[in-house]
Amino acid sequence: MIIVMSPTATQHEIELVISRVTGAGLKVHLSEGKMRTIIGLIGEKKLMAQLPLEAMSGVEKAISVTAGYKLVSREFKNEDTIIDIGGVLVGGSQLTVMAGPCAVESREQLLESARIVKAAGAQFLRGGAYKPRTSPYSFQGLEEKGLEMLAEARAVTGLKIVTEVVDIESVAVVGAYADVLQIGARNMQNFQLLKAVGKSGMPVLLKRGIAATINEWLHAAEYVMSEGNYNVMFCERGIRTFEDYTRNTLDLSAVAALKNLSHLPVIVDPSHGTGLWKLVRPMARAAVAGGADGLMIEVHPNPAEALSDGSQSLTPENFRALMSEVRAIAPVVGRRME
CA distances, 322 to each of 59, 91, 167 (Å): 49, 20, 33
Q: Compare residues 185 and 225 and give the one whose CB is closer to ligand PEP.
A: 185
Listed ranges 58-66, 154-162, 174-182, 309-317: which one lies at the site for Mn ion (CB under 5 A) = 309-317
3-state DSSP assignment of residue 23 = helix
Give residue number: closest CB to ligand PEP: 184
Q: According to CB under 5 A, which residues from 169 to 228 bind Mn ion? A: none
Q: Compare residues 190 and 226 and give the one whose CB is closer to ligand PEP.
A: 190
Q: Compare residues 118 and 207 and give the one whose CB is closer to ligand PEP.
A: 207
3-state DSSP assignment of residue 334 = coil
Q: Is the dihedral of CA 168, 261, 20, 58 positive or negative?
A: positive
- What is the distance, to the nearest Å, from the Cα of residue 98 to the centroid of all Cα atoms in its chain? 11
Q: Compare residues 107 and 139 and give the one whose CB is closer to ligand PEP.
A: 139
Work out how close the CB of 9 gets to Mn ion at its nearest, in angstroms, rounded to a whole number: 48
Q: Compare residues 78 and 140 and give the one whose CB is closer to ligand PEP.
A: 140
The residue type found at 129 is A
- The residue ranges that bind ligand PEP (CB under 6 A) are 102, 128, 164, 184-185, 207, 237, 272
- Closest residue by Cα to residue 1 from 25, 36, 37, 29: 29
Residue 247 touches which of Mn ion, ligand PEP, none (Cβ within 5-8 Å per kind): none
Work out how close the CB of 272 gets to Mn ion at its nearest, in angstroms, rounded to a whole number: 6
Q: Is-contact 58 17, C-beta < 8 A?
A: yes
Work out how close the CB of 308 gets to ligand PEP at its nearest, in angstroms, rounded to a whole number: 8
Phi/psi at 45 (nearest 5 deg)? -60, -35
Q: What is the DSSP letter of 103?
A: B
What is the number of residues in the chain?
A: 338
Q: Compare residues 236 and 309 and give the one whose CB is closer to Mn ion.
A: 309
Helix 214-225 crosses helix 253-261 at what angle (to 10 degrees)? 50
Work out how close the CB of 109 gets to ligand PEP at its nearest, in angstroms, rounded to a whole number: 15
Residue 184 touches which of ligand PEP, Mn ion, none (Cβ within 5-8 Å per kind): ligand PEP
Q: Compare residues 29 and 272 and give the one whose CB is closer to Mn ion.
A: 272
Work out how close the CB of 308 gets to Mn ion at its nearest, in angstroms, rounded to a whole number: 6
Work out how close the CB of 20 gets to Mn ion at its nearest, in angstroms, rounded to a whole number: 50
Work out how close the CB of 234 gets to Mn ion at its nearest, in angstroms, rounded to a whole number: 18
- What is the distance, to the nearest Å, from the Cα of residue 115 to the centroid of all Cα atoms in its chain? 24
Residue 207 touches which of ligand PEP, Mn ion, none (Cβ within 5-8 Å per kind): ligand PEP
Neighbour tally for 241: CB within 10 Å: 11
Among residues 309, 319, 323, 335, the one that binds Mn ion under rule CB under 5 A? 309
The reply on whether position 164 binds Mn ion by CB under 5 A is no
Region for 27 from its dihedrals, namely left if φ exceeds 0, alpha if ψ lies in -120 to 50, beta otherwise = beta
Q: What is the DSSP letter of 292?
A: -
- Residues of the shown chain interacting with Mn ion in the complex, contacts defined by CB under 5 A: 102, 309
